[in-house]
């Protein structure tokens, strides 16, 4: 059963003085760049068309400043939360990313195992290897969710939900922002098409997806339902009307609709609309501990990590996933302590302040020490 992830004990080694290979998060990105070919690199570093939505994701995070409180006892800071009846060491889900096999041969199995070893959660994409059953077998004790791209009829959907339940997944997720596959201009410029895209079938089912399928799942199954790709208060309200358990605020990392809003521009609107009637996940360029703190203070319950997951996986496989989460935890704990709180339960929007971003947003702007030579298309 999916209910027994052990929480790994924390290390007490000052960063910079330990023997760990990775001591800053940008080091995963640098290592990944050295290992990935240009097609794999563009898949995770790029976005749709002008890549405006992706940059707005980062900008919406950088426009939030902190309002710290001082002279409070923060000797013991705990970054853990409770979700799905489990204690999680961080409020983090490794977001569903397709084709993880291009980053590591063990693919989603390595990511799920790493999340489980650390004490975070993992959401498996239906278009990542090794698939639903094998990932569950590889990480039986991890807190796992399953995400589906609808590529078939009602029977296709019902089969996927049934298999997810049978294999111990704690929630089922429908992605709803991919009615049409976007223009990924980095790939088009190289005249490159992934083999999995060539083999893909059933696209018209995703184009025809509507709220009827949401009702079908809620009526027939008891598993918590997540809807990924909500970007307006109006759709959040419709989701609530259908009994959706988790609203997943996401713009696909800026890889679908171009010129969309940044995720953290959208999140407050969704939090206000939901008003505690459902739980909320969010993703979109979250790659620092401070990003996680900003999201939770803004009303999210879990934060999705996408690109950083892929870079860590490419850099060092399963061990890279564990170490990446350890570094995120270190950043989170230091941030919470410097804000004057000992846990996420003490946070609210009063700790945040709208400010002007100091850096031009980019996929790498969270890592000022990173210097990646641009590719000439």
Instruction: Please report whether residue 326 resides in a domain.
Output: yes
Number of compact structural domains in the chain: 1
Instruction: Please report whether residue 18 resides in a domain.
Output: no
Reported as a single tens digit per residue, the pLDDT across 92-126 is 999 999 999 999 999 999 999 999 999 999 999 99
- Of the residues 26, 122, 242, 252, only one is catalytic, namely 252
- Identify whether 252 is a catalytic site residue: yes
Instruction: Please report whether residue 10 resides in a domain.
Output: no
Instruction: Please report whether residue 35 resides in a domain.
Output: yes
Work out the number of other CB atoms within 10 angstroms of the CB of residue 57: 29
Do 370 and 29 form a contact (C-beta atoms < 8 A)?
yes
Instruction: Please report whether residue 7 resides in a domain.
Output: no
- Whole-number mean pLDDT of the chain? 95
Per-residue pLDDT at 201: 85
Q: Does pLDDT of 8 surpass 50?
A: no
Instruction: Please report whether residue 166 resides in a domain.
Output: yes
Instruction: Please report whether residue 139 resides in a domain.
Output: yes
What is the pTM for the complete model shown?
0.95
Residue 305 lies in domain:
31-354
Alpha-carbon Rg for the chain, nearest whole angstrom, is 19
* Percent of the chain whose pLDDT exceeds 90: 91
Number of helical (H) and strand (E) elements in the chain, helices listed first: 14, 12
Give the C-alpha separation, 42 to 359, whole Å. Answer: 22
Per-residue pLDDT at 14: 66
Identify the sign of the CA torsion 102, 52, 27, 319: negative
Give the C-alpha separation, 120 to 36, whole Å. Answer: 26
CATH number at residue 139: 3.20.20.70
């Amino acid at each position: 059963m999916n209910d027994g992830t052990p929480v790994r004990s924390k290390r007490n080694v000052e960063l910079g003085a330990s023997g760990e290979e990775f001591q800053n998060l940008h080091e995963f990105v640098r290592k990944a760049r050295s290992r990935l070919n240009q097609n794999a690199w563009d898949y995770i570093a790029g976005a749709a068309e002008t890549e405006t939505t992706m940059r707005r994701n980062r900008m919406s995070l950088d426009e939030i400043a902190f309002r710290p409180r001082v002279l409070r006892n923060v000797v013991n800071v705990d970054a853990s939360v409770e979700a799905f009846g489990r204690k999680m060491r961080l409020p983090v889900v490794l977001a569903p990313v397709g084709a993880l096999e291009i980053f590591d041969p063990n693919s989603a199995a390595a990511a799920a195992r790493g999340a489980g070893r650390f004490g975070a959660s993992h959401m498996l994409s239906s278009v990542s290897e090794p698939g639903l059953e094998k990932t569950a077998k590889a990480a039986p004790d991890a807190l796992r969710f399953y995400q589906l791209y609808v590529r078939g009829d009602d029977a296709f959907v019902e089969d996927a939900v049934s298999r997810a339940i049978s294999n111990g997944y704690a929630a089922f997720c429908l992605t709803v922002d991919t009615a049409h596959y976007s223009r990924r201009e980095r790939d088009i410029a190289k005249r490159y098409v992934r083999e999995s895209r060539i083999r893909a079938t059933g696209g018209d089912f995703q184009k025809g997806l509507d709220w009827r399928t949401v009702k079908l799942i809620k009526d027939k199954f008891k598993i918590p339902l997540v809807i990924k790709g909500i970007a307006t208060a109006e759709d959040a309200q419709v989701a609530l009307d259908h009994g959706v358990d988790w609203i997943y605020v996401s713009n696909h990392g800026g890889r679908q609709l171009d010129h969309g809003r940044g995720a953290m521009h959208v999140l407050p609107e969704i939090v206000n609309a939901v008003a505690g009637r459902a739980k909320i996940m969010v993703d979109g360029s979250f790659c620092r501990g401070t990003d996680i703190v900003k999201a939770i203070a803004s009303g999210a319950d879990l934060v999705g990590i996408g690109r950083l997951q892929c870079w860590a996986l490419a850099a060092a496989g399963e061990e890279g996933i564990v170490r990446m989460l350890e570094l995120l935890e270190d950043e989170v704990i230091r941030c919470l302590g410097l804000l004057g709180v000992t846990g996420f339960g003490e946070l609210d929007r009063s700790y945040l302040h709208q400010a002007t971003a100091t850096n031009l947003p980019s996929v790498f702007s969270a890592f000022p020490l990173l210097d990646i030579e641009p590719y000439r298309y």
